C-alpha cells in the first residue's frame, strides 16, 4: 500500500513526540525527520501532521496538569507552537531540508476559497521540496478543543493534497475486533475495508492519557480519507523505522482500504456537485483539449462567461452548441474570467495584476460528463 503511494500524509500522535507529555522529545523528532528523509529518497512526497504543541507549551509554562479552560489551552498551544516549529526545523536542517509550518482550522477547509488557497500553498511547498508540518490552529478556535482533532485534520489534509495514503501513527498496534485490554480473545485485524460499518463498534475505548484521540477517531479519519480515495494505515509509532519498513512493503498495523482511486473519487465528487454557479462556453479547440486530450481548461479557449461565481466554485463547461461536456472548480471569479477569456495564460498577470494559476480549471479539478 505505502510502497505504491507517491504522496503520503503522516500523522504522529502526542505520545510519539513528547516525553510522557512533559515537553517535546527531541530525539524522537529527529527520528521522524530521518525516516521522512528516507521516504523522500524513495521518491515520495510527505506531509506531516504533528501533535505536541500543547504539551510543549505546558512544559514551557511550567504547568504540570493539562488545563481545562479554553483560553489556557489556547495559550499553551500558542507558546508550544514556537517550540514545535523550532524543533522540527532543526531536525530537518540537519538533512539540509527546509520545513514550513501550516496552522489550519476546520473553517479553513470548509470554505472553498480558503480551501483552494491552502491547497495551492501546500502543492507549492511540495514542488519546492519543502516539508509541510501541519497542526490545528488551536490558538484561534472558537469551540472547544476536541479529542482527536488532529486525526480528523490529517484526513482532511489527505483530501486537500490528493494524497494516495494516510498513515496514523499512535501508541496502539492497530485495530482489534474489540478492546484487547478488556477482551483477551480480541483478534488483531491486518486489513479491512474502510467502508465497513462494523469498524466503529470494534474501535471502542480511548487512547493513552497523553494523547487526545482514541481508536474511534482514527477509524473515522480512515473512513473520511477513503471517501477521497486514499488508503489508511493505523500503526504503532514505537515500531523501529516503521515508515521506511512500510514504504518497502512490510505489513505493519491495520490497513484500511479505499474502494476507489484518489483521482476517480475526486472526479466523481465533481461530477455530482449539485450547486453549479455558472457556465463557461468553449471553442471547439478547447472542447477537444478537454475531451480527447485530457488537458486542463485554459482561458484562451473560453468564448463566453455566464453567472456570478467565486473562485473555487463549480462551473459547467459548454460546447459552442451549448451542451455540457464537463464541470469543475474554477480558479478565478466570474469578473476575472471575463477579463482573461480568450487570452493566453501568459497575459493573466498583465490583465489582472496577479496570477493564481495558469489554468482556468486544472484537469485534476475537472470531470467529464
Q: Give residue-wise pLDDT tens across range 179-204.
A: 787 888 889 999 999 988 888 878 77
- Is 303 exposed, middle or buried (CB count within 10 Å of its CB: 0-12, 13-18, 19+)? middle
Task: Specify the pLDDT at position 159.
Answer: 86
pLDDT at residue 216, as a whole number? 86
pLDDT of residue 206: 44
pLDDT of 310 above 50: yes
Nearest 5 degrees, angle CA 101-CA 103-CA 106?
150
What is the rounded distance in angstroms from the CA atom of residue 283 to the CA atom of residue 342?
Answer: 9
Q: Helices then strands (H, E): number in the chain?
A: 13, 13
| Spatial distance between the Cα atoms of 62 and 232, rounded to a whole number of angstroms | 37
Distance CA 161, CA 339 (A): 29
CA distance 348 to 167: 39
Residue-range domains of the chain with CATH: 7-265 (3.40.1160.10), 273-368 (2.30.130.10)
pLDDT band of residue 212 (cuts 50, 70, 90) is very low
Predicted pLDDT at 21? 67
The contacts of residue 90 (CB under 8 Å, 6+ apart) are none
pLDDT tens digits for range 125-147: 999 999 999 988 766 665 544 43
DSSP state of 259: S
Instruction: Note the pLDDT of residue 14.
Output: 86
Decide: residue 110, CB within 10 A, 0-12 exposed, 13-18 middle, 19+ buried.
Answer: exposed
CA distance 330 to 319: 17
pLDDT at 213 over 70: no
CA dihedral angle for residue 295, residue 300, residue 302, residue 303, rounded to 10 degrees? -150
Average pLDDT score over the chain: 88
Residues 6+ positions from 353 with CB-CB distance below 8 Å: none
pLDDT tens string 81-138: 999 999 999 999 999 999 999 998 767 776 667 888 888 899 999 999 999 999 887 6
> Span 336-348, mean pLDDT?
96
Amino acid at each position: 500500500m505505502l510502497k505504491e503511494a507517491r504522496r503520503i500524509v503522516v500523522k504522529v500522535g502526542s505520545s510519539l513526540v513528547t516525553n510522557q507529555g512533559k515537553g517535546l522529545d527531541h530525539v524522537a523528532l529527529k527520528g521522524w525527520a530521518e525516516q521522512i528523509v528516507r521516504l523522500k529518497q524513495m521518491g515520495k512526497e510527505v506531509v506531516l501532521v504533528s501533535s505536541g504543541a500543547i504539551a510543549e507549551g505546558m512544559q514551557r509554562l511550567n504547568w504540570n496538569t493539562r488545563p481545562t479552560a479554553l483560553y489556557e489551552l489556547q495559550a499553551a498551544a500558542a507558546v508550544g507552537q514556537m517550540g514545535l516549529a523550532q524543533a522540527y526545523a532543526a531536525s530537518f536542517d540537519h538533512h539540509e531540508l527546509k520545513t514550513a509550518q501550516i496552522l489550519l482550522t476546520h473553517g479553513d477547509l470548509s470554505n472553498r476559497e480558503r480551501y483552494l488557497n491552502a491547497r495551492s500553498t501546500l502543492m507549492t511547498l511540495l514542488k519546492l521540496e519543502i516539508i509541510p508540518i501541519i497542526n490545528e490552529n488551536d490558538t484561534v478556535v472558537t469551540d472547544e478543543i476536541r479529542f482527536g482533532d488532529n486525526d480528523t485534520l490529517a484526513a482532511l489534509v489527505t483530501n486537500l493534497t490528493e494524497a494516495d495514503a494516510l498513515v496514523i501513527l499512535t501508541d496502539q498496534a492497530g485495530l482489534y475486533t474489540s478492546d484487547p485490554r478488556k477482551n483477551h480473545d480480541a483478534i488483531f485485524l491486518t486489513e479491512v475495508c474502510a467502508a465497513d460499518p462494523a469498524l466503529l463498534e470494534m474501535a471502542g475505548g480511548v487512547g493513552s492519557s497523553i494523547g487526545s484521540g482514541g481508536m474511534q477517531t482514527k477509524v473515522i479519519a480512515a473512513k473520511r480519507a477513503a471517501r477521497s480515495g486514499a488508503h489508511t494505515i493505523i500503526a504503532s509509532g514505537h515500531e523501529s523505522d516503521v515508515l521506511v519498513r512500510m514504504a518497502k512493503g512490510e505489513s505493519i498495523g491495520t490497513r484500511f482500504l479505499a474502494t476507489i482511486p484518489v483521482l476517480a473519487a475526486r472526479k466523481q465528487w465533481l461530477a455530482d456537485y449539485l450547486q453549479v454557479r455558472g457556465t463557461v462556453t468553449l471553442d471547439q479547440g478547447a472542447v477537444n483539449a478537454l475531451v480527447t486530450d485530457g488537458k486542463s481548461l485554459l482561458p484562451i479557449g473560453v468564448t463566453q462567461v455566464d453567472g456570478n461565481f467565486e473562485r473555487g466554485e463549480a462551473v459547467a463547461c459548454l460546447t459552442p452548441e451549448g451542451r455540457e461536456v464537463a464541470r469543475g472548480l474554477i480558479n478565478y471569479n466570474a469578473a476575472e474570467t471575463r477579463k482573461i477569456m480568450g487570452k493566453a495564460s501568459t497575459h493573466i498577470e498583465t490583465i489582472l495584476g496577479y496570477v493564481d494559476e495558469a489554468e482556468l480549471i486544472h484537469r485534476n479539478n475537472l470531470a467529464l460528463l
